[in-house]
Chain A
């Protein structure tokens, strides 16, 4: 069965510092992996996705993630944090169950950005 683990429920960085949010996955088949961002009282917005093409995936708002099969990881990074990046971030893996393709979400990481 597919699953994702996000290391660190809270991450705090200074404005302008590197952002690193960790995600490890478990999958018996080549996975599709996703990072979503959620602002308070809002739905989810897709940041980027890995669907077995390039291992380094670039997304919106300056975020990128690298798929590392040997480490079963898909960590999210951004070189320079902005105050507007403060939000909840979810890593997800696409899973097949009962004939349906669905998303399995990690527990989430809350990113705080301070001046």
Chain B
């Protein structure tokens, strides 16, 4: 299957700083990328959907100004957690999908990024 990478795999930062997480599709062009958040022992919650070259669509309750998403190319999407606080500590997972949003195409998941805000 297709490969999706995330960088970094683990990051620790101080409260008030910003953190950028990268999601890359290594062997296919991802027209759509998804960002999920997972709290310990809980399920994945979709934060936002991004299409290459357009603004991300955020799920209800997700702060757009807090979680900045950029999908500048067909192989790279970034999630920036701005002014991070301890409650932003979580496991962030991205997924990528090729093809159009109007048809089904499998999502391929990255390995996740563990964010700890002190």
- Spell out A's residues near B (CB within 8 Å): 32, 36, 41-46, 49, 51, 90, 94, 98-108, 110
Bound Cα distance from A45 to B103, whole angstroms: 21
Closest to B32 in A: A100
Partner of A90, one of B1, B4, B43, B101: B43
* Pairs A–B under 8 Å by Cβ, sample size 17: A43-B4, A43-B111, A43-B112, A44-B95, A44-B109, A94-B104, A98-B57, A99-B101, A100-B32, A100-B49, A100-B57, A101-B105, A103-B46, A103-B107, A104-B46, A105-B43, A107-B43
SS of A interface (majority)? strand
Bound Cα distance from A22 to B57, whole angstroms: 32
Whether the pair A102, B104 counts as a contact (CB closer than 8 A) is no
